[in-house]
Amino acid sequence: GESVGLHLPTLSVQEGDNSIINCAYSNSASDYFIWYKQESGKGPQFIIDIRSNMDKRQGQRVTVLLNKTVKHLSLQIAATQPGDSAVYFCAENSEAGSARQLTFGSGTQLTVLP
Amino acid sequence: NAGVTQTPKFQVLKTGQSMTLQCAQDMNHNSMYWYRQDPGMGLRLIYYSASEGTTDKGEVPNGYNVSRLNKREFSLRLESAAPSQTSVYFCASSLQRQWGMNTEAFFGQGTRLTVV
């Protein structure tokens, strides 16, 4: 079946450096993608989203890039801070039944080193 | 504004016991969802409710039932718990049936369930 997957399960970066988290998706019909951040013991928290008719979207310190040709999504975090340490999930949105569903990847653990 | 509230936060069950996980949202959202998260994995959809009065199966519905009690509340029931149902359960809600920009799902804090 269709799935969303991540290239790297863990990523360590120095404080102040930029972080890039990658995600591959396989459902060509997906038209909406979301990045979530999950801190230990908490539920996922929305970071940024992007529709398939866009290549790039910027938020505060975060940028999402979408390459539909190779079905690849990335999250860039500028000037990574200790508070950015968390698991990051990409999720793709698909139409199913009477409502749209989110399908999540397995996550990337980002660790920010002092 | 509490957002999405789940109860209980922790629960230990014996194999074969039943229980209901409660979820309530105060954001007047139409759609609600139940996910489970296993170690090292993403969230998998169990059931969802597009609107009050409707429920549909997700990716992993076996062993579970749901009730959309009203617009605010969406409960998940385990009729006969099994060790394979040991997981962290998340409830989520979203404003619209149709996803679009800024209509992301908001998640509760999770219920950590252990079945022994």
Is the pLDDT confidence value at A3 over 50?
no
Bridge partners (DSSP) listed for residue B47: B34, B57
Which residue of B41, B97, B100 is in closest CB contact with A99?
B97
Check residue B98 and give its pLDDT.
Answer: 52
Contact (CB, 8 A) for B66 and B47 = yes
Average pLDDT (A34-48) is 92
In this structure, of A38-42, A64-68, A95-99, B90-94, the range with the lowest mean pLDDT score is A95-99
pLDDT greater at residue A2 or residue B32:
B32
- Provide the shortest C-alpha distance from residue A38 to chain B (in Å): 10
Which residue of B44, B48, B108 is in closest CB contact with A43?
B108
Looking at beta carbons, which residues of chain A come within 8 Å of B90?
43-44
Cβ distance of A107 and B104 shorter than 8 Å: no
pLDDT greater at residue A53 or residue A9:
A53
Cβ distance of A89 and B43 shorter than 8 Å: yes
Tell me the two tokens of residue A107: 């996550």
- Can you list the residues of chain B whose pLDDT is less than 70? 1, 96-103
Check residue A2 and give its pLDDT.
Answer: 34
* Most A CBs within 10 Å, among B37, B48, B99, B112, to test the A interface: B99
Check residue A1 and give its pLDDT.
Answer: 33
For residue B49, what is the nearest residue in chain A, using CA coordinates?
A: A99
Tell me the two tokens of residue B28: 């007047």
Q: What are phi and psi of A57, to 5 degrees?
A: -145, 135
